[in-house]
Amino acid sequence: MEHLLIEGGRRLQGKVSIDGAKNAALPACVASLLTDDPLVLHRIPDLRDVATALLTVSSLGKHVTRQGWTVKIARQGPLGEVPDSRYVEQMRASFLVLGPLLARLGHAVVPLPGGCTIGRRPVDFHLQGLQAMGARVEEGTDAVALRAERLRGAEIELPYPSVGATEHLIMTATLAQGETVIRNPAKEPEITDLISLLLKMGAQIRVEQDAIRVHGTDRLHGAEHTIIPDRLEAGTYLLAGAMTGGEVTVHGVVPAHLRSFLDVLRETHLEFSAGEDSITLISAPRPEPVHVVTAPHPGYPTDLQPPLVAFLSLCRGESRVEERVFERRFDYVPALNRMGAEIEVAGSTAVIRGVSDLDAAVVAAPDIRAGAALVLAGLAARGQTTVYQIEKIERGYSGMDEKLRSLGAQVERVA
């Protein structure tokens, strides 16, 4: 079983280039189902989840070619109505194919999705929105079947600003008859990036303060699009520098996408400077504690909560982190405590009492971001930390061991 061996205690320093955003690449791949024309996507990260998304659209009749960071998705045969269950069951984002298939074919069958075990993440919001647009839903124990002669525009109020549901409904509405209004939508940068791609494909979309209006068209065409940088990867490497007392620059980023994250770092008294497409973080001797609440964008991102908690475990005093997005985000805390952290979880709140040092341990990654947090803890710990289940980390981070070594870390990947 592959794992990482991390010799802690090395100060990280230098520059690291950030890949395209996984959470923008996944819906962009799915958007290829909305047209028979070729879609050319640049800055597509080399990740397990992206590979799964590309296999999913391939199983539906698309021909996928990749050269470096560029992916071309073109028509190979008739569009299929049932994606390969092997891929959908691996990743939640594969469920997004349901609406585009329904809009193109009038019917679709999709297995219920899998993914990280960080919470319930029900698909009810997706299905309720599709039903409002005229879909007839038949739910089985392990799959969902939808039918609609022609989808029509609708007024949809999301009970929660779900990223997946917002993406799903925007894509579906581009081919529905009339206007769809999605109220209380998610506002993450990845949503904006998807809209940018769809506009290039000929969609008619207008973003308002608290709603997204989509006027359906009969047909979308091909396009060429460059994915935004991954703000979550950028935040993780900045925290890696902070935890090791180093100075790390992330290059190829959009600093505005990290505003809430940088606001929290500023509260801990860390110093940083932002350029047009870079951020440099300079560590403080012993950062101060903070109180953080995760929330939909523009709030603090839940995907940067585990790396932040790892960082706060070495800060001065007592910090509090409230998780208000996913109820099982703290599954990694016992592993951090085995490394010497002092963290207590009560319900949706973690109380972190800063310690002066962490110690190496053998740990396993529960999910993508929790695994990143354990790697960061290993970088700062005394001795050699072993991190198992790194295939989960690789769903969201490409070449993490190589990038950390480029910053001076002693990290070895062992088969």
Catalytic residue among 44, 50, 101, 116: 116
DSSP string, 103-139: HHHSEEEEEPP----SS---SHHHHHHHHHTT-EEEE
Name residues whose C-beta falls within 8 Å of residue 249's C-beta, 6 or more positions apart in sequence. Answer: 14, 15, 16, 278, 279, 280, 281
Q: How far is CA 164 from CA 169, 172, 274, 388, in A?
A: 9, 12, 30, 29
Tokens of 1: 């079983």
CB-CB contact of 119 with 331 (8 Å): no
Please report which residue ranges of 244-395 form alpha helices under DSSP H: 259-267, 305-312, 333-338, 368-380, 390-393
Report how far residue 173's alpha carbon sits from residue 196's, in angstroms, rounded to the nearest whole number. Answer: 15
Q: Which residue is listed with tokens 């296999």?
A: 55
CB-CB contact of 109 with 144 (8 Å): yes
Cα diameter, the chain: 64
Report how far residue 261's alpha carbon sits from residue 26's, in angstroms, rounded to the nearest whole number. Answer: 23
Tokens of 15: 């520059």
- Residue 255 is given by DSSP the state G
**334-337-343-348 Cα dihedral, nearest 10 degrees:** -10
Q: Is 29 a catalytic site residue?
A: no
Report how far residue 272's alpha carbon sits from residue 274's, in angstroms, rounded to the nearest whole number. Answer: 7
User: Which residues are identified as catalytic?
Assistant: 116
